[in-house]
Amino acid sequence: MPPKQIVPGFYELRVGIANVFLLESPGGLVLFDTGVPGSQDAILQAIHTLGKTPQDLKHIVITHAHPDHIGSLAALQRLTPARTYIHPVDAGVAQRGGDFDPRHDTRPFNPAPGLLVGMLFRMFLRPYRGLEPARIDVELRGGERLPFADDIEVIFAPGHSMGELAFLWKQHGGVLIAGDTCANLPVLDWSLGYENLEVGKRSLKELCHYQFEAAVFGHGGAITRGASDRWRKRWGTLPG
């Protein structure tokens, strides 16, 4: 499937169960997340579709270190010159690689509220074995701008993962890269699981303070108009 333009210069590509995003920035081509293991060919194909080569990929920015987001990171590091950015809380997971089993991990991961979500959680959450260790070049904490793009704000948004980052690109009325803070599958709602749901709720409420026309998600389609209004409608009324 070819990459889908969300706004000029910003593209969504679905690889397996997760979305990754390509951004043409003045500092070079940027990839947000890397999909499940084995997604590198589809990502390189998408880069080719944009008229670029693997050498043009300068930055890989990771929202959080779940296997469906870091699965092809090590492979892409071998194939491109890209530097990798992640929050320090999730850096170790990417560097270690190995097995990821959300139900038997030292970091707990629990289903989000709702019966259906609980059912999907049990159906779809499976362990990943033998993830390849990856290199981390730059740690991002939130509150700063991406070092190569001063129009992209880094927002610490823990909960789904305690090292989760969201990104706000301040062009085209604002584009929020929401990672797995929540999902849009098929409507704006919880992600399947949270490391800490209460912390996750606070992050979702925090994000209500930002203005963005579009929002993209690790799972589910993009919202291309009035996204922050919809965000506030869904998450602004959470207690606390």
The site for Zn ion (CB under 5 A) is made up of 66, 68, 180, 218
Q: How far is the CB of 173 from Zn ion (least distance, A)?
A: 26
- CB closer to Zn ion out of 14 and 170: 14
State phi, psi for 147 to the nearest 5 degrees: -60, -25
Q: How far is the CB of 65 from Zn ion (least distance, A)?
A: 9
- Note whether 216 and 175 are within 8 A (CB): yes
Q: Residue with CB nearest Zn ion? A: 66
- CB closer to Zn ion out of 180 and 213: 180
Q: How far is the CB of 64 from Zn ion (least distance, A)?
A: 6
Q: Which token pair is 206? A: 């925090």
Helix axis angle for 197-206 and 227-235, nearest 10°, is 140
| Whole-angstrom distance, CA of residue 36 vs CA of residue 236 | 32
Q: How far is the CB of 140 from Zn ion (least distance, A)?
A: 17
- CB closer to Zn ion out of 12 and 68: 68
- Note whether 145 and 152 are within 8 A (CB): yes
- CB closer to Zn ion out of 96 and 209: 96
User: How crowded is the C-beta side of 53, counted as CA atoms within 13 Å?
Assistant: 2
